[in-house]
Amino acid sequence: MKSKMNLKSILIMAILGIVSLFFINMSLAANTAKINVETANLRETPNGDSKILELLSLDEEVEIIEKEGEWYKVKARGMVGYLREDLIAVNGEATQNSEEQPEASAEQKQENETNPEEQNGESQQESKEENPEEKVEEQQENQEQVVEENKLGKQQIKEDTNLKILPVINATNTIQVKKDEEVNAIELVNGWACVETSTTKGWIREEKLQKLEQTEQEEQNQEQPEEQNTEEQEQPEQEVAKTLYVNTTTANVRKEANTSSEIVTSLPLNTAVEVFSEVDGWSKVTVNGKEGYISSALLSENKQETSRSSAPRQVTTDTQNQGANNQEAQTASVPASGVGSNVIETAKQYLGCKYVYGGTTPSGFDCSGFTSYIYRLHGVSLNRTAAAQYSNGVAVSRGDLQPGDLVMFGKSGINHVGIYMGGGQIIHAANPSRGVTTDTINSGYYNNNYVGARRIM
């Protein structure tokens, strides 16, 4: 009789154990979520202005710890922080009551892990003083601190740029700071520097700053080599001229070799120009008695084939003088055959480049930095951000998309841009985990968050 009772007790305990495991697994499954936007900020506290700990990518899985109002406390990439509820899709129903117990267990586990350290505090302190490895680590920390301090203090702006109200690429601009302007850097956060000007304070990408003392020293060091290399720099201009032809709808001849320089004249497709030299992707040319620079990507050795049905109307390709060219920009039409294809072929050369917030060069692009760079190679200057680029060119319906059109996306407003390739495909700088890649806009995230498109050329 007694053995039967023991057997019955064992069976009951086994059943209870199986049921407990089932509910534990269900609870764990409900305590995960996936990022449902291109990039989400993992913050230190449940506040939109708090420090950004990490940038998480689309479809990345996180572990939910608890919910606080409209914020979720989560664990991702070994860090604990907060995500706004609209940035994630929760797997199952996670309630605060069901999450209290795992949190308590985590806290208890942490106490269990830290108690031995507290108990052995004196012995660890003694070993730390005698351990040479600790001294090496301390020296490394001191070196890192010196590097950090060198990035603070008086700095000089490398190029014209906008200060941001927050250290995020899509944040609102405050004021524009000019090249060589002096600012005071007071804080560094995730590649962003908080700087003070004479009138205001804001955020700027760290790579757009350089130490003032370093700048002055570099200028002194460069004076003598520049004088020595004057003859070498002038040598290319003495080369024999060759004849090339404009291969795009409209090409701007500029006074200097950059997209912000004054436009000397605009040339239509197949105009012949005399090229004397080429420097950094720009060709020095003469045409109709005028001299200037054209982006080398807009010139070919042979004329382009045209037909009456594909002959384009002239469009503006520059947005710097918006007051004078605004009306002309609204008269754009379908681009000539091959123009959009030229843009796509250029963009494909940068597949695989890494994604860097604020990046505008092949060493690292963000989405609008990539589109700006590609069109700059074709002599076209775009606005800097994805939202601002929605004012470039002219609107085009989704059904009339052609290769080379800009396409914009976002959940609440525009926060992403790519270049349409045709066949429902885009090429874009996607996110930090994927870099420059291609995607379809006919399904998934980009189909559901499509905002509109602009025709630039």
Q: What is the pLDDT of residues 115-140, one digit of tens each?
A: 444 444 444 444 444 455 555 556 55
Q: Which residue has the tokens 């304070």?
A: 201
Class of domain 150-228: mainly beta
In DSSP notation, 266-306 reads EEETT-EEEEEEEETTEEEEEETTEEEEEEGGGEESSPPP-
CA distance 185 to 151: 7
Q: What is the pLDDT of residue 82?
A: 94
Tell me if residue 428 is catalytic. yes
The string of pLDDT tens digits covering residues 290-329 is 899 988 888 888 887 764 333 333 333 333 333 333 322 3
Phi-psi label, residue 444: left if phi above 0, alpha if psi -120 to 50, beta otherwise: left
CA distance 336 to 253: 20
Backbone Cα Rg of the chain: 29
Q: Which residue has the tokens 């985990």?
A: 433
Q: Which of 194, 353, 367, 378 is catalytic?
A: 367
Query: What sign does the dihedral 318-320-323-326 (CA atoms) show?
Result: positive
Tell me: pLDDT of 364 over 90.
yes
Q: What is the pLDDT of residue 207?
A: 86
Q: Which of 194, 353, 378, 416 is catalytic?
A: 416
The three-class DSSP label of residue 105 is helix
The three-class DSSP label of residue 405 is coil
Lowest-pLDDT range of 1-5, 79-83, 196-200, 283-287: 1-5
CATH code matching the domain that covers 31-115, chosen among 1.10.645.10, 2.30.30.40, 3.30.530.20, 1.10.10.60: 2.30.30.40
The string of pLDDT tens digits covering residues 17-36 is 776 665 554 554 458 899 98
| Eight-class DSSP state of 312 | P
What topology does CATH give the domain 237-304?
SH3 type barrels. (2.30.30)
Give phi and psi for 406, each to the nearest 5: -85, 135
Helix axes 121-130 and 96-119, enclosed angle (nearest 10): 60
Q: What is the pLDDT of residue 173?
A: 85
CA distance 337 to 344: 13
Q: Quick one: tokens of 421?
A: 């390739």
Give residue 388's identity as a one-letter amino acid code.
A
The three-class DSSP label of residue 70 is coil
The 192-196 sheet, strands edge to edge: 173-177, 161-164, 201-205, 192-196, 182-189, 153-157, 209-211
Q: What is the pLDDT of residue 22?
A: 56
CA distance 17 to 68: 32
CA distance 321 to 324: 6
Q: What is the pLDDT of residue 301?
A: 87
CATH code matching the domain that covers 322-455, chosen among 3.40.50.620, 3.20.20.70, 3.90.1720.10, 3.55.10.10: 3.90.1720.10
Tell me if residue 416 is catalytic. yes
Domain ranges of the chain: 31-115, 150-228, 237-304, 322-455
Residues in the chain: 457
User: What is the rounded average pLDDT of the residues 58-73?
Assistant: 91
Reference 305, options 338, 328, 271; nearest CA is 338
CA distance 399 to 322: 28
Reference 151, options 211, 214, 208; nearest CA is 211
User: What is the rounded average pLDDT of the residues 376-395?
Assistant: 92
The three-class DSSP label of residue 102 is helix
CA distance 280 to 275: 14
Q: Do residues 381 and 319 touch, judged by C-beta distance below 8 A?
A: yes
Q: Do domains 237-304 and 322-455 have the same CATH topology?
A: no
In DSSP notation, 126-156 reads HHHHH-HHHHHHHHHHHHHHHHHHHTSEEEE
User: What is the rounded average pLDDT of the residues 356-377?
Assistant: 94
Q: Do residues 454 and 402 touch, judged by C-beta distance below 8 A?
A: no
Tell me if residue 353 is catalytic. no
